[in-house]
Amino acid sequence: MIPASIRTLRHRLHENFVRWALRVRAPEPAPIILTQRRVYVLPTRAGLAYAAALLVILLGAMNYNLSLGHALVFLLAGLGIVAILHTFRNLALIEIRPGRCEPVFAGGAARFELVLENRRSEQRTSLRLFLGDEVPMEIDIDAASTAVAALPLPATQRGWLPLPRVTIETTWPLGLVRAWSYAAPDMRCLVYPSPAAKAPPLPWGGDTARGNSRDGRGADDFSGLRNHQDADPPRHVAWKAVARQQSGPLLTKLFSGSTAEEIWLTWDALPVTLDIEARLAVLARWILDADNAGLAWGLILPGTRLTPHHGPEHLAAGLRALALFDHGAN
């Protein structure tokens, strides 16, 4: 068992080495080129065993004056030196650029996409990329081509999740040496608050719901039925159709016209006993339910107001407002 003081010292020395090895202050501007000065090489355990075996063979050849033994040692030593060169070249001069990172909900996994470009005429084989203690992912890059590596990272809390330092390594072709480098791309992922598993029903009463002049689902002309969703207003349930059927799901009436259903989702409509994160979780659930029901919804937070609308862009704007909400700044 390694004492905690020793582990702390090792971690501090490692972080100091990484800051020196990056050569620049993190985060790095794109593109990031793994120049020769940024690639480091050390023998692996297999490489140390290989060197020890060569030493034993050399001692035996010297003791018994075996010329073929000397030749074998020199041959294997040359093979090891060539392996060092190929391992180093397999990693050097790769270009790294930030890719896409779609927003995720807290509790999920963010996927940071990195674009790796190989300008050489040789394939880059068995490259491994990983973040901290996460499981490495292996990737090959064809000659004069690019490849995309998607690195997963747990998203534990809402807000911006920056991409931590990336380690890229290879032991190709023989596994005798490990060549590695570090990169710190300027990337971050937006993490939405996790929707509440159980939330109060949508606030249909009072002034939070009303008609609005808008094309889409309205309350003028009946246009059909569909399965009921939790976000649907109770007054739109087709009770007569449900009563006529022996068994089956609840049905909701659809309307077409210029008077569309509009609902306001407000911070003050939530119970005062809920803390900030619980309120945001309920609002996230309301936004998703309202969007699934095809409603035009607006959002009112301390310092933020989104007018009623619907669609993917409005949904993203509402969830972004929740993700970046800072109660102390309002």
If you average pLDDT over residues 51-59, what whole number do you get?
96
When computed from its CA atoms, the radius of gyration of the chain, rounded to whole angstroms, is: 30
Say whether pLDDT at 185 is over 70: yes
Looking at beta carbons, which pairs linking 274-277 to residues 24 or more positions away fall under 8 Å?
276/325, 276/327, 277/158, 277/193
Question: What does the domain layout of the chain look like in residue ranges?
Answer: 13-192, 206-329
pTM of the model: 0.78
If you average pLDDT over residues 291-315, what whole number do you get?
91
CATH numeric code, 13-192: 2.60.40.10
Give the pLDDT of residue 214. 42
pLDDT tens digits for range 234-272: 656 655 555 555 565 666 655 544 445 689 999 988 888
Query: Is residue 18 very low, low, confident or very high in pLDDT (cuts 50, 70, 90)?
Result: confident
pLDDT tens digits for range 105-163: 999 999 999 999 999 999 999 999 999 888 899 999 999 999 999 999 999 999 999 99
